[in-house]
Amino acid sequence: TKTLEETLREVIPPKQEQLKKLKAEHAQTVVGDVKVENIIGGMRGLKAMLWEASVLDPIEGIRFHGLSIPECREVLPPAPGGKEMTPESMLWLLMTGKVPTPQQSKQFSEELAEKGEVPSFVEKLIDSLPKTLHPMTQLSVGVAALNHDSAFQAAYERGTKKTEYWTHTLEDCINLVAKLPALAARIYRNVFHPDRPLVPIDKNLDLTGNYSNMLGFGNNESMTEYLRLYIALHGDHEGGNASAHTSHLVGSTLADPYLAYSAALNALAGPLHGLANQEVLRWQIAMQKEIGNTITHDNIREYLWRTLKSGQVVPGYGHGVLRNPDPRFVALQDFCKTRPDLQASPTIQLVQQTAEVAPEVLKEHGKTKNPYPNVDAASGCVLYHYGLTEFKYYTVIFGVSRALGAVTQLVWARALGLPIERPKSYSMDALEKLIKS
Ligand code: NMX
Ligand code: MLT
């Protein structure tokens, strides 16, 4: 059975040929216009990036190498004894475009467990940070420090050939994904449960089995399965989202994967992006406090209006690309529907009730182009129900996940020899000149 690297060695040459052909035959083919609204509007809708692992359709949502979320849940191997796809199965799919066999997925889990320990100097660095420093900042610091042992950086200094870049990048990327759970769990322990002993990595467990164990939820199989689904689902959302794009931009300078992903985490930590999952819980708890125990559509509606009238966004709603409910939100809701304890949870019921009211309120408000829930509207609720109530930590779990797509792109960008990113910018005066010319 082939390893990930052996599989990549097979799939890379045809992709290199495909790129060569695109360059030779279509370098000058026009695929869209650049309008002033794109330049002043956050480049929304601009077709401007190559990203192999997934494509986002505004109506249908994300597809990973052509596979929808329900299809991935169907075909990607679960952990032994589990049902949900694992993040390592998803990473294999993202990297290679192929569904791994259960054996490949298991061997990959073993490799990740083998490489999962964080160097002791990084542990000390994390332990020295103030507990009041946001967990996302701590994660970014820890990931950047891992570049001390970057295989890519060392190979670059040795003068390695360009055609070999991707193999060293892959080594760093696998190490990064492997070490994220221990690093993230250490941050959770330090900030929220300093009295708890840290559990070592169990070489027999999959990546999420270990992560859940280290967070203190190893005995809760439903929570571990939820984390598998959560981490696999959030892994990639094509290339234009702020964290993925940041990783790609920084990586395009040939900064190593640790530096590139550390930068991506800083983008993910913004409230309009990944931090929204923390904000949803904060918002929802404030709503619950205000409304009390009798929650009705009417008082949710009233609370939504109060949020909007005070000039805030409703967290967990809207999207830069999607124009329908996010299929990741739907998948997380589906997970809840299969478990009676989750169905009975007031937190999960409130997510559902809010989703029944918010779209009509946001439509009436008339600003957002997408009044439907995105993944963040649901992602924190199961964590909260099962006792991971420290919502300042939620984006860290997103950060453990988003690495899957980011590292995939870093490997492919090196394998395809993609250049440094450098779009052209204009001042408003220069733009006006351009319009007149
Ligand atoms: N609540 C209130 N107003 C909103 C919302 C919302 N949920 N979503 C968009 N708007 C406003 C937006 O602020 C903008 O107002 P203005 O013209 O005053 O600047 C207007 O509607 C048009 O925005 P759109 O073009 O619909 O959205 P855009 O592509 O600019 O932004 C988001 C996308 C996701 C940043 C935006 O919908 C938002 O702020 N949502 C709430 C935060 C959130 O849930 N983010 C998570 C995204 C998913 N993720 O995981 O990263
Ligand atoms: C993401 O998963 O990155 C978010 O949905 C934001 C995006 O796609 O723009």
The per-residue pLDDT string of the chain (437 residues; one tens digit each, 9 = 90 and over) reads 999 999 999 999 999 999 999 999 999 999 999 999 999 999 999 999 999 999 999 999 999 999 999 999 999 999 999 999 999 999 999 999 999 999 999 999 999 999 999 999 999 999 999 999 999 999 999 999 999 999 999 999 999 999 999 999 999 999 999 999 999 999 999 999 999 999 999 999 999 999 999 999 999 999 999 999 999 999 999 999 999 999 999 999 999 999 999 999 999 999 999 999 999 999 999 999 999 888 999 999 999 999 999 999 999 999 999 999 999 999 999 999 999 999 999 999 999 999 999 999 999 999 999 999 999 999 999 999 999 999 999 999 999 999 999 999 999 999 999 999 999 999 999 999 999 99
Nearest to residue 411, comparing CAs of 49, 5, 116?
A: 5
350 within 8 A of 295, measured Cβ to Cβ: yes
Please, is 356 exposed, middle or buried when counting C-beta atoms within 10 Å of its C-beta (0-12, 13-18, 19+)? exposed
Rounded distance between C-alpha atoms, residue 30 and residue 83, angstroms: 45
237 within ligand 2 shell (Cβ under 6 A): yes
The secondary structure element, H or E, covering residue 296 is none
172 within 8 A of 283, measured Cβ to Cβ: no
Nearest to residue 244, comparing CAs of 93, 398, 374, 406?
A: 406
3-class SS of residue 199: coil
Q: What is the pTM of this model?
A: 0.97
Nearest to residue 231, comparing CAs of 375, 86, 54, 102?
A: 86
Of the residues 245, 273, 326, 385, only one is catalytic, namely 273
376 within ligand 1 shell (Cβ under 6 A): yes
Q: Left if phi > 0, otherwise alpha if psi is -120 to 50, otherwise beta: which for 247?
A: alpha
What is the pLDDT, as a whole number, of residue 294? 86
- Is residue 148 flagged as an active site residue? no
3-class SS of residue 390: coil
Name which residue sits closest to atom 3 of ligand 2, judged by CA. 241
Q: Which residues contact 267 (CB under 8 A, 6 or more apart)?
A: 242, 243, 245, 246, 273
| Number of other CB atoms surrounding residue 40 within 10 Å | 11
Query: How much helix, strand and coil, in percent to the nearest 5, is found in the chain?
Result: 60, 5, 35
Nearest to residue 372, comparing CAs of 317, 422, 295, 421?
A: 317
Q: Which two tokens stand for residue 316?
A: 């967990």
What domains are defined for the chain?
A: 102-272+391-415 (1.10.580.10), 276-385 (1.10.230.10)
Angle at 412 between CA 408 and CA 413, to 5 degrees: 115
298 to 229, 302, 303, 345: CA distances (angstroms): 33, 6, 9, 20
Q: How far is ligand 1, taken at its centre, from the CA of residue 20, in Å?
A: 38
117 within 8 A of 175, measured Cβ to Cβ: no
Q: Which atom from ligand 2 is nearest to the alpha carbon of 244?
A: 3
Nearest to residue 402, comparing CAs of 241, 253, 224?
A: 241
Rg of the chain in Å (alpha carbons): 22
The secondary structure element, H or E, covering residue 202 is none
Rounded distance between C-alpha atoms, residue 215 and residue 206, angstroms: 14
| Number of other CB atoms surrounding residue 400 within 10 Å | 25
Q: Which atom from ligand 2 is nearest to the alpha carbon of 375?
A: 5
For residue 343, give the amino acid letter.
Q
Per-residue burial over 408-417, b if 16 or more Cβ lie within 10 Å, else e, is: bbbbbbbbbe
378 within 8 A of 158, measured Cβ to Cβ: no
Please, is 44 exposed, middle or buried when counting C-beta atoms within 10 Å of its C-beta (0-12, 13-18, 19+)? exposed
Rounded distance between C-alpha atoms, residue 156 and residue 148, angstroms: 14
83 within ligand 1 shell (Cβ under 6 A): no
For residue 280, give the amino acid letter.
V
Name which residue sits closest to atom 7 of ligand 2, judged by CA. 241
For residue 24, give the amino acid letter.
A
Nearest to residue 23, comparing CAs of 410, 419, 412, 409?
A: 419
